[in-house]
Structure 1
Amino acid sequence: MTTITITLSDDRLRQLEAIAARFQIAPEELARVGIEELLNRPDEAFQRAIDTVLKKNAELYRRLA
């Protein structure tokens, strides 16, 4: 596992700490979870393409089911 260092303004650090406190986790863990979520999220253009195909072919999928 690799460690990285990021720079945050004092205001952003306070916000991160406050949100982490609400979830009762360390600020570092909250930041890691946020990054994981971002990396695991499908690309928006790809998601729009999927939605378009599903909508366009909804009737076909209904008949095949």
Structure 2
Amino acid sequence: MASITIDLSDSQFQKLRDLAAVHGITLEVLLKVSLEDWLNSQKSEFIDAADHVLTKNAELYQRLA
């Protein structure tokens, strides 16, 4: 498993700790879950955009084929 180190301001770090505490989870779990959610949403947004372009241009693609 890979690991990374990032620099956070004291206020950013405190906000993350507070958010993790509100949800009753560790800071590490909060960050992993948040990152996974963000990565999945990016993939979903790309797929939605690609589907839109393919649907919008389907007739053009058929004429070019």
TM-score bucket of the superposed structures, by smaller chain: 0.5 to 0.7
Matched length: 53
Where is the helix percentage greater, Structure 1 or Structure 2? Answer: 2
Same amino acid, percent of matched pairs: 36
Q: Please list every run of 5 or more consecutive structure 2 residues that lacks an aligned counterpart in the other structure.
A: 56-65
Q: Please list every run of 5 or more consecutive structure 1 residues that lacks an aligned counterpart in the other structure.
A: 54-65
TM-score, normalised to structure 2, is 0.64
TM-score, normalised to structure 1, is 0.64
Alignment of 1:25-44 (within 5 A): 25-41=25-41, 42=43, 44=45
CA RMSD of aligned residues (A): 2.0
CA deviations over 1:7-62 (Å, ceiling 9, x no partner): 11100001000000011111111111111111111353543564785xxxxxxxxx
